[in-house]
A and B are shown apart, each in its own frame.
Chain A
């Protein structure tokens, strides 16, 4: 196994009592002394700071100098409309493969003459190779290796960040801006992975420690580890790449139709012409045989990833399985998401998860399990 990498905030985490674990090739903080449950609740009540510097930051610069050419080029790899994405705005996207499977999910920001992409840590090398293989004729693909990425999430996030960069109060959900600060230029988006209002902040590594310390020095901000990050995103109904979506799941099976705008669908202005379009457009028009759904177990036992799902309390073959499952500290009950046969995907229906040899009932439930509090 290759040696684990560290983000530039490694010592900062350790000095704050973090328990470090291997994650996507990095040593990352899974929790701090507060513990997963309290970290989760703190982020929802006040604000949490997450080091997400392991994620990939990529600039896509069109050789023509016209930002629209980068959007047009990237559209050939994602079933997402990027030509309509306005400058200063960000959008969720998916790299698909020729089978309609998902190679990664990512954020794409329009920064005028270029695009800024944030991709998953575990996928970033493959994503960059994929971009270079397909877009090098028209774009320069530059991986950013000298910037850290922080996420500041929760109801007190705006006030905390505004003490450093007052301009953030003007931003709405999914806005992106480059703002000057005492910590150099900050690439800020009003977004995140918790269902809370908040920001993701790209900062030069040389200033990252000082910025993180300045944020944590403010009363409401606590460091939050990967453990709470997972329960926060699951309550928010957000997919974890590698668990809930991967190369074996299509965007339609993954219930991600909302990420595929009309322009790229059948009859749209730029219909198809992305990898796997044949399969994905057919599924958009006539449905897929299985679907990702939310599940709320009726009892208190969590149904974790891998739990087999059944239509009935006894007999029959599995109709699917759980891909993420945990206890939801804010909803105060267990929650799961998973794939089920389309006949069993209707909200409100009861299905059964096999936990330790017993089939326990769970309700097919809408997501998010906890309403998001984005600043629209």
Chain B
């Protein structure tokens, strides 16, 4: 699993990348009450605002961590936003991206580096 400075995690499943937010991000956000996801089929570029998450505290944008095509989104977190708090690294995933070159993921932090990053 890889991690971004935006507190997203990326996990390669077959030829797609599953994206979600980290435990740390979920704790910082507080209780999530609203999630808006892109439509499957959307082509995104790195740092595009692809999803919105609202907690009891504030709205935050979820950025595309990498260029790719959204091939699937997790409608379960739209119906039940609290899933993002309950299981951010599992059932609370956001979307799956099909990317050209999986090797670009090598640039992101691994778990140890992310732990150092969040202190």
Contact = CB atoms under 8 A, between A and B. Distances in A.
20 contacts: A31-B30, A35-B56, A36-B30, A36-B31, A36-B56, A37-B30, A37-B31, A37-B56, A38-B31, A227-B30, A300-B34, A301-B36, A302-B54, A302-B59, A326-B56, A327-B33, A327-B34, A327-B54, A329-B56, A334-B34
A336 to B, nearest CB: 13
B30 A301 contact: no
Nearest to A327: B33
Contacts of B52: 301, 356
Nearest to A333: B33
A304 interface: yes
B24 interface: no
A35 B54 contact: no
A227 B57 contact: yes
A37 B36 CA distance: 20
Interface of A: 31, 35-38, 227, 231, 300-302, 304, 326-327, 329, 334, 356
A238 to B, nearest CB: 18
A301 B54 contact: yes
Interface in B35-75: 36, 52, 54, 56-59
Nearest to B59: A304
A302 B34 contact: yes
A35 B30 contact: yes
Given A35-B30, A37-B31, A327 B56 contact: yes
A66 B109 CA distance: 73
A37 B57 CA distance: 10
Given A227-B56, A329-B56, 9 more contacts: A35-B56, A36-B56, A37-B31, A37-B33, A231-B56, A302-B33, A302-B59, A326-B56, A334-B33
A334 B56 CA distance: 10
Interface residues of B, number: 11
A159 B16 CA distance: 57
Contacts, number: 38
A113 to B, nearest CB: 45
Most chain A CB inside 10 Å of its own CB: which residue of B31, B34, B59: B31
A31 B58 CA distance: 14
Contacts of B54: 301-302, 327
Contacts of A31: 30
Nearest to B54: A302
Contacts of A334: 33-34
A63 B42 CA distance: 74
A329 B81 CA distance: 13
Nearest to A302: B54
Contacts of B33: 37, 300, 302, 327, 334
Nearest to A230: B56
Interface in B1-43: 30-31, 33-34, 36
Contact of A35 (B31, B34, B58): B31
A37 B33 CA distance: 9
A31 B33 CA distance: 17
Contacts of A231: 56
Contacts of B58: 304
A227 to B, nearest CB: 6
A356 B31 CA distance: 21
Nearest to A30: B57
